[in-house]
Structure 1
Amino acid sequence: MTERVRERFDGEVLAIWPYPAQMLFCSGPLDGLEDLEGKKVRVFSSALNDLVSHFGATGVTLAFSEVYPSLQRGVIDCAVTASLSGNEANWFEVTDTLYSLPMSWAIQLHVANGDFWEALSEDEQAEMAALFADMEARMWSVAEQATQDGVDCSTGAEPCEIGTPADMTLSEYGAADEALLIEAVEQVVLPGWAEECEAAYPGCTAIWNETVGATTGFSIE
């Protein structure tokens, strides 16, 4: 990734960290992934669209600001976002169920402009890199805390330290849905992503298999 950012954007990657886990906020009950069949679900990526479509849902691409009124009017039945983001956007006012299985993860990069970075001395680069590495470690912890806080606040559990207390129903996932999710990732999500990635950057499938795939055990055939 670092080399790709340098090549395409002339930037220096200083930190990578995730937003809270992306979960389903739904109108009405949702007891598992198979209950998505026939529902209209707000998604924000082609991979997420492939995932919900695998379970018989229709993916609908909406800007974040459009989700609340769309849920309110019944244009969509469910929406995916970070657990805390949905709470802070008051989605609990227009949905009933929070399904706790992480459907996706969104990653944020902090990148320095290449010209700016090259103008720094080696000592300045080392100092900045160390500071961002420390921040990166802290932000991974923040993402974990924010994930749980979003769940706790939306469902009326304690402690609720960041978000707004609400009374949504928490639908917790089990081993069966974990297995269904893994199956969907292997059968449709990764192949679809690989096709798009190879079209934009030939060889990226091999890079995935050598890095993320080797770490997670999800290889692309």
Structure 2
Amino acid sequence: MLRKALLLAGLGVALLANPIKLDLNAIYGANNFHTIGAQKYADLVKEYTAGNVNIVVHPGASLVKGNPLQAVRNGTVAMTDMFIPFTAGGGKSFGISALPFIAQSYEDAYRLYQISKPAYEATAAQWNQKILYAVSWPPSGIYTMNPINSTADFKTVKARTYDRNSANFVSMVGGNAVALPWGEVYSALQTGMVNAVLTSSASGKDGNFWEVLKHFTKISYAYPLQAVTINLDYWKSLSKAQQEAMLKAANEIEVAQWEASKQEDAVALKMLIDNGMSVSETSDTLKGQLDEVAKKMLEEYLADAEPAIKAIFTEYYAQ
């Protein structure tokens, strides 16, 4: 007991060595489940450091309006969350989770994340930051005015997409892809600039899409990742005990948030239906057509990929 007390006392001294405040830029609003997760992470860190590390979460991208990867690298903000596939500068590795139909379930998505993690971490390090944890969004589907039963139904689609992969996908199935910041999507739907959105059930719920669109087809396009990172200079300024406490909290939040993503998907789908939106599964015809497009996209993606990236998919499909 005495030894344990001395160890705890030593930990307390270590944590008290360099008290610090860290601002965390959260991309989405306070009620988004990723932002809620970030706040839970901040609370855990505060608990595990006995108040010695205080992370202040700023929802709605209030601290960073541009590229979060750039902002954290430069120390404009100590921490941020970021939608990995949409993050400029992430290269091929950051696009992995948004490749269509690679992951067919949350279990697949988590396994792909674990295999890809070294590649994500290496890219983050090149941008002077460390990934603390990453969590999948609910699977991406397609919101439209009219039902989507085959690729022929994409001919009149003008879809807001979230990265180069999804833009290529919409183009390859016969639609038109439009790049827009999230904050402009609803007004673009109102004016007819776009008439479809490729995104998750959660985003459709948060965006009240039932007010401007009629159908959500659960094509399970991808399980893209949202990550929380910290500037490496800030990270290195922390004591070992502070770092260990932050990693412990990150591991716990990552597990909890993957479960929260599943729950958010169920809640969001119910809300879409309750508000009058038609929610449908992918028809066999459409699934077969989309699988062919996805196969071509993966071949193109891997054609000029580094061996380390190709090895990720070799390992993934070997299991």
Could you say which structure has the greater relative contact order, defined with CA pairs below 8 angstroms and 6 or more residues apart? 1
Q: Is the 8 A contact 2:218 2:282 kept in 1?
A: yes
Q: Give yes or no for the alignment of 1:214 onto 2:315.
A: yes
After superposition, residues 83-98 of structure 1 pair within 5 angstroms as: 83-98=201-216
Normalising by structure 2, report the TM-score: 0.57
Q: Is the 8 A contact 1:14 1:129 kept in 2?
A: yes
How far 1:81 sits from its partner (Å)? 1.9
Q: 1:178 aligns with which of 287, 292, 303?
A: 287
Q: Give yes or no for the alignment of 1:102 onto 2:211.
A: no
Q: What residue is the counterpart of 2:158 in the other structure? A: 40
How far 1:112 sits from its partner (Å)? 2.0
Amino acid at match of 1:144: K
Q: Which ranges in structure 2 are unaligned for 5 or more consecutive residues?
A: 1-119
Higher Cα Rg, which structure: 2
Q: What residue is the counterpart of 2:298 in the other structure? A: 190
How far 1:17 sits from its partner (Å)? 1.0
Moved more, 102-111 or 204-213: 204-213
Q: Distance in 1 between matches of 2:197 and 2:215?
A: 11
Q: Give yes or no for the alignment of 1:5 onto 2:147.
A: no
Count of residue correspondences: 200
Amino acid at match of 1:169: S
After superposition, residues 1-221 of structure 1 pair within 5 angstroms as: 1-6=120-125, 8-156=126-274, 166-187=275-296, 189-194=297-302, 204-216=305-317
Q: Distance in 1 between matches of 2:131 and 2:298?
A: 25
After superposition, the C-alpha distances for 1:122-165 in whole angstroms (9 at most, x for unaligned) are: 33322221110110111111111112222121012xxxxxxxxx
The 3-state SS of whatever aligns with 1:104 is coil
Normalising by structure 1, report the TM-score: 0.80
Q: Distance in 2 between matches of 1:75 and 1:112?
A: 37
Q: Distance in 2 between matches of 1:213 and 1:111?
A: 27
Q: Distance in 2 between matches of 1:70 and 1:122?
A: 48
Amino acid at match of 1:209: K
How far 1:191 sits from its partner (Å)? 4.2
Q: Distance in 2 between matches of 1:11 and 1:65?
A: 26
Amino acid at match of 1:110: V
Q: Is the 8 A contact 1:26 1:79 kept in 2?
A: yes
Q: What residue is the counterpart of 2:10 in the other structure? A: none
How far 1:65 sits from its partner (Å)? 2.3
Q: Distance in 1 between matches of 2:313 and 2:134?
A: 14
- In structure 2, relative to structure 1, the CA distance for the partners of 1:37 and 1:205 (3 Å cut) is farther
RMSD: 2.3
How far 1:75 sits from its partner (Å)? 2.6
Amino acid at match of 1:145: Q
- In structure 2, relative to structure 1, the CA distance for the partners of 1:28 and 1:181 (3 Å cut) is closer
